[in-house]
Structure 1
């Protein structure tokens, strides 16, 4: 029998599923006629902005989709070879690239998202990228640029520690860190939108796995992390915005 007061993990999961059933919540902000939240978290820090090469200007080896699907696997060990800026731009575009902004209300991107809400922000832990100093950056998807967040020399160690010291994080060329801005999704769907955030995370990471083959890279998705610690490193509150998924990327051995 379902017990909403149960403290077990199974109880918490069932409580979430019951609480987000259709018809179980009040009207969403969209239903109430409230304006939508911004399409992107504003960038206000007076630090480095790095333009990324346009996807159509990046020449990559042709990759058959069936081959990419057949060869998809998680790879945790990488060479010391750095990624290039065009390769990084390509992977960011494949995972969150904006194809069109519609009425300043929603975006059409290279991945699916419930109601085209696209609630994610992409942070990039850079260890080895040609022309980009190591540090933490955020992808400004609307402009296809990288914005510096931190050049703390210990940032890679901090992120690895927050992800339970998984060794492929400091060993990667880059680590993708996807955060969810909850009200971008709940504006339309209410509490049920939290379900869609987790579905969208799978779409994004699968695109990264498939796209990485074109640039000779391997990927390993990461779902194990100390939520409070990694949110603190990223400078987000853990409620309105929180880490939802991560993945390491590096050149295949």
Structure 2
């Protein structure tokens, strides 16, 4: 027979001093018990120790008279409604599924639905962990054999409940009800293949839902999760060791162009791909990098380490983006690959893979439009650890937002300087990794911005 047991979320902790139940690393107060509510405090402590039914928890907490039991049942009802309890669904004494948080409504009947195309699974010791961006629940299988049931639900609407060796019809029915109640199943060829869901691929929607922090979330994203685990990555990347090339100061002609009315620059901004025959000058590129990406100042914070301030904004002033200039046809600069040093406003020549550099310089991102190669390519990478050291769950999203801010800043400055700017939605990131020798997990390429005269 069906048996449902509960346990308080592992993220829930009790502040012994004021009776507040705190959730997550942000220690947000979700519930504060009255000073005399010792029975309720004992009940929540009991529920934090193991999976147990409400009746078992009430007995262990010593709530044995009618009034105390009524208060205990009311507290469990409140905790369940607030999503503070997880649930274990078992048939008899055999656990089948764990659900985080517990489903607070009665389990619906299974109606022939298959696994939603937005559902995803990852392996755990006992089996699979299932979730979906369309659901607020996470389900873990307690039996490895249930992997076969999940496979049987993939890509189709079964006419009958699947049969899985080692599981009774009643156990299969319970699992299907839980998966239905958790919102992991859907009628295929129905709503998921029509707008608005039709616009979304599963990974796009998963990324959107998992990396968008809401004010109603219990955990703030700036958890400093690696503060006492790893050293914070440096605010400025270490130089390559080769002599740096100091960029010329912004000349009077560029200063005059940059002094144009902002409204005019904003109105004139557009993507321009066709390079001119004459090369772009190093002075123009110097003005572009200085005005858009230089390090203006830095500051050391007590908890977050050193942060920096630059012309474009960055989440938490982390500034994880690095700029690499691939010079093809630049007047005053030898063709090659250079790393921009924002604190000194200089270029550091890279001694990477020679053949990789030649391939990168020969790469023409404008070939789809039948244009000549751009005169200069600005490859943008991200030292992901700079942002992930502070932010949890939203780190990659914040890096993408930083990139958008840098793109627009480069666009506006290039427009003011009467250059031809273009950001690329796709780039040969493997080519960049080979040329630079950078670890694609430590510092992956995230963007490409090309500029010509």
**Equivalence for 1:219:** 421
Structure-2 residue corresponding to 1:45: 241
Change (3 A) 1:150 1:250: farther
Residue 12 of structure 1 corresponds to 203
Instruction: Return 66-75 or 226-235, whichever deviates more.
Output: 226-235
* Structure 2: tracts of 5 or more residues without a match: 1-115, 122-131, 133-154, 156-199, 214-218
- Supply the RMSD in Å over aligned alpha carbons: 3.1
Whole-Å Cα distance in 1 between the matches of residues 263 and 450 of structure 2? Answer: 23
**Which whole-Å CA distance do the structure 1 matches of 2:370 and 2:447 have between them?**
15
- Counting only pairs closer than 5 Å after superposition, residues 81-230 of structure 1 correspond to structure 2 as 81-103=278-300, 105-149=306-350, 152=354, 155=357, 157-158=359-360, 161=363, 163=365, 165-166=367-368, 171-230=373-432
Return 5+ residue gaps in structure 1 as ranges: none
TM-score (norm 2): 0.50
Q: Once the 2 structures are TM-superposed, how far is the Cα of residue 60 of structure 1 from its aligned partner?
A: 3.4
Closer/same/farther in 2, CA of residues 59 and 144 from structure 1, 3 Å limit: same
Quick one: structure 1 residues 122 and 36, their matched pair in 2 at CA, closer, same or farther if it must change by over 3 Å? same
Provide closer, same or farther for how the CA distance between residues 161 and 244 of structure 1 changes in structure 2, counting only shifts above 3 A. same
Deviation at residue 4 of structure 1 after TM alignment: 1.8
CA distance in 2, matches of 1:112, 1:200: 7
Structure-1 residue corresponding to 2:119: 3
Are residue 238 (structure 1) and residue 440 (structure 2) matched?
yes
Distance in 1 (alpha carbons) for counterparts of 2:268 and 2:212: 37
Measure the CA separation in 2 of the matches of 1:108 and 1:56.
Answer: 23
For the residues of structure 1 that align with 2:334 and 2:225, how far apart are their CA atoms? 41
CA distance in 2, matches of 1:16, 1:184: 20
Whole-angstrom distance in 2 between the partners of 1:191 and 1:52: 38
Number of residue pairs matched by the alignment = 250
Tell me: CA distance 1:213–1:16, structure 2 relative to 1, closer, same or farther (3 Å): closer
**Structure 1 equivalent of residue 46 of structure 2:** none
Q: CA separation in 2, counterparts of 1:226 and 1:78?
A: 20
What is the CA-CA distance between 1:141 and the residue it aligns to?
A: 0.7
Structure 2 contact 380–445 (Cα < 8 Å) conserved = yes
Distance apart, 1:77 and its partner CA: 0.2
Deviations 1:54-79 (A, max 9, x none): 44876332321111111111111011
